Structure 1
Amino acid sequence: MNAREIRPAGPQGPRLSRADAIRADRRARAPGTDVPHRDYFARPVRPDDPDEADAPDGADDPDRPNAPDRPDDPASLAAAADRLIRLAGTRLAPLPGTALLVIGCGTGRAALLLAEETGCAVTGTDIRAARIATARRRVARSALAVRPEFHTADATALPFPAGSFDQALMMEVTTRMPDTPGRRGKRAALAEAARCLRPGGLLLLADPVGADGTPPGAPGLRLTTRERLPALLDAAGFDVLRIDDLTGLTGEPAAERYPGYVMITAWSRVARVT
């Protein structure tokens, strides 16, 4: 895996206090190694979940990039999903009580795993009411002291006041949106995430990338390039801290659907772009 840190060029002006900047930079690094997945990939898969049959969110949707090419092996998909979620948790490094917004949470797999392993206060949203209903059933069965909350909402119109959250997670959310300036496009979703974050709050974005447009065999996807995603984040009000190239390392058996996969860590600027 190749990982590189990106610092925006030109004069920046005030952003964060020195203490906050040090903490954010520490979150964006893997302690003692440039291979952030080393320990993370060795961790076990969570127990089976009857609501998901141990498959990741949306595994029954053939348009999603994590739809199983091997339907007889859902455990490999679950393992890949949990590894990716834990790597996102390593990048965000939420503390107990950190207000984390999971946009496009699906049936709650990432929300519950991060709440369980970090103690953060998670709120999840998804546009599909059926997925939110499943997430609520799962959290009702859990033994978590601080249980995630779930809401049905569009990623471009979230029902929260500005600055409500410390961190946000978007995993394969903008992948299904067009790269247009309209209200339903990728930039609109990223700008809404920026609005919901406090200034200096962290965003973790994980998306497949490739040539602009719809890849063969995946009509529901709207890919963009790895160069375009940082530009979209900048336009939405974020400074990119780090880009990790996860191509070939997520364990997804869908390489033919898209040629690359990236995870981007960014923070919300004090002066947001509208």
Structure 2
Amino acid sequence: MLMSNPTEVGSAIPSTDVESAYELFAPLAEKYWGPDLHNGYWYGEQDDTSLEEASRRLTELVADRLRVGPGDRVLDVGCGNGRPAVSVGTGTGAQVTGVDVNRSALAAASEHAAANGLGDRVAFECADALDLPFRPGSFDAALLIESSLHFELDELLPSLAGMLRPAGRLVLETPYAKVPMNERMRQRTAEYYEMIQAVSLETLPRHLEVAGAVELEPVEFLDITENTAQTWPRALERLRENWSEIERVLGSEVAERAVRVVDDWRAVPEIGFMVMTLRRRERDSEAG
């Protein structure tokens, strides 16, 4: 489902590829949002957990659903700077391979793994999720934290299903559409998706439909919309406190436009966040 048309997007935010978009925004995001670069998870409005700790909490929530341990192999798709991959490796004892298309992020990821003594168990490769350089059935589990939106779902899930062994788990933490896409939603999300170079926003039924077609069966669905709601307000507060640097790096026009675009996107009531766990179906002959 294509979300945007470049001709409809304001020129103040440069249209670019995923790698360039990451390199433009990631350094500031890491500094003021936190190194994990994804949503935080809070238990309620009274939960005063920091943005960094809440982000780690969400990583742990995803990692727990992988159901892996020492000797297992895990694939982290869209691993970025490697913080979640290292957390998964540390917490589970599994061997983790992270893939991404951003070479500078991968270099930072390798440095982070080595600094945490996991250079022999957590590795990173430059690879496209739709053309993975691994043998089919190489992994016991795979995770995607806010990266599936960069791919068409009916291309992504078949690619990942092929990487999993029988009964292997796939855990997605991602935005999703609570209702089928309509023109109003399309208009309100187009500029944000162009900015971050995303291409899809699908409903839960559509996820289940595509998963079922490639023998991925549902295990669990969690709507975490309310749990993640504090993420952007907390990040925006930090950005505003350090606005002079934001403007110096991005320019005032791009900075203000980027904030407005994220504000608008996070306010769309039909968009939620979910953690979905899928499992590759075992054939009768495989189940023994």
Cα separation, 2, equivalents of 1:145 and 1:136: 7
1:157 aligns with 2:136: no
CA contact (8 A) 2:153 2:207 kept: no
CA contact (8 A) 1:123 1:150 kept: yes
Task: String of CA shifts for 1:129-180, please: whole Å, max 9, x gaps.
Answer: 1211110111121223843010011111111000111011112222122xxx
Deviates more, 1:105-114 or 1:204-213: 204-213
Task: String of CA shifts for 1:52-72, please: whole Å, max 9, x gaps.
Answer: 44724557xxxxx89xxxxxx
CA contact (8 A) 2:148 2:156 kept: yes
Change (3 A) 1:172 1:236: farther
Map 1:1-274 to 2 at 5 A.
52-53=30-31, 55-58=34-37, 76-144=50-118, 146-177=120-151, 185-210=152-177, 211-212=180-181, 213=186, 215=189, 217-220=191-194, 221=198, 222-250=200-228, 251-253=230-232, 255-256=266-267, 259-270=271-282
Cα separation, 2, equivalents of 1:236 and 1:142: 37
Shift of 1:230: 1.4
Amino acid at match of 1:193: L
2:231 aligned counterpart, secondary structure: coil
Cα separation, 2, equivalents of 1:239 and 1:94: 18
Cα separation, 1, equivalents of 2:61 and 2:118: 21
Cα separation, 2, equivalents of 1:230 and 1:52: 33
Shift of 1:252: 2.4
Amino acid at match of 2:282: V
2:282 aligned counterpart, secondary structure: coil
Deviates more, 1:208-217 or 1:114-123: 208-217
Q: Can you give the 5+ residue segments of structure 2 that lack an aligned partner in the other structure?
A: 1-28, 41-48, 233-261, 284-288
CA contact (8 A) 2:113 2:122 kept: yes
Task: String of CA shifts for 1:25-63, please: whole Å, max 9, x gaps.
Answer: xxxxxxxxxxxxxxxxxxxxxxxxxx944724557xxxx
Amino acid at match of 1:166: D
Cα separation, 2, equivalents of 1:145 and 1:159: 20
CA contact (8 A) 2:94 2:121 kept: no
Equivalent residue, structure 2, for 1:31: none
Amino acid at match of 1:270: E
Shift of 1:77: 3.9
CA contact (8 A) 1:226 1:262 kept: no
- Normalising by structure 2, we get a TM-score of 0.63
Q: Quick check: which has more Rg, 1 or 2?
A: 2
1:154 aligned counterpart, secondary structure: coil
CA contact (8 A) 1:104 1:125 kept: yes
Cα separation, 2, equivalents of 1:241 and 1:130: 35
Change (3 A) 1:267 1:228: same
Cα separation, 2, equivalents of 1:82 and 1:173: 17
Cα separation, 2, equivalents of 1:229 and 1:261: 13
Deviates more, 1:243-252 or 1:139-148: 139-148
Aligned residues: 203
Cα separation, 2, equivalents of 1:77 and 1:223: 25
Cα separation, 2, equivalents of 1:151 and 1:206: 21
Give the % identical residues: 32
1:199 aligned counterpart, secondary structure: strand
Q: Can you give the 5+ residue segments of structure 1 that lack an aligned partner in the other structure?
A: 1-50, 60-64, 67-74, 178-184
Cα separation, 1, equivalents of 2:35 and 2:117: 21
Amino acid at match of 1:140: A
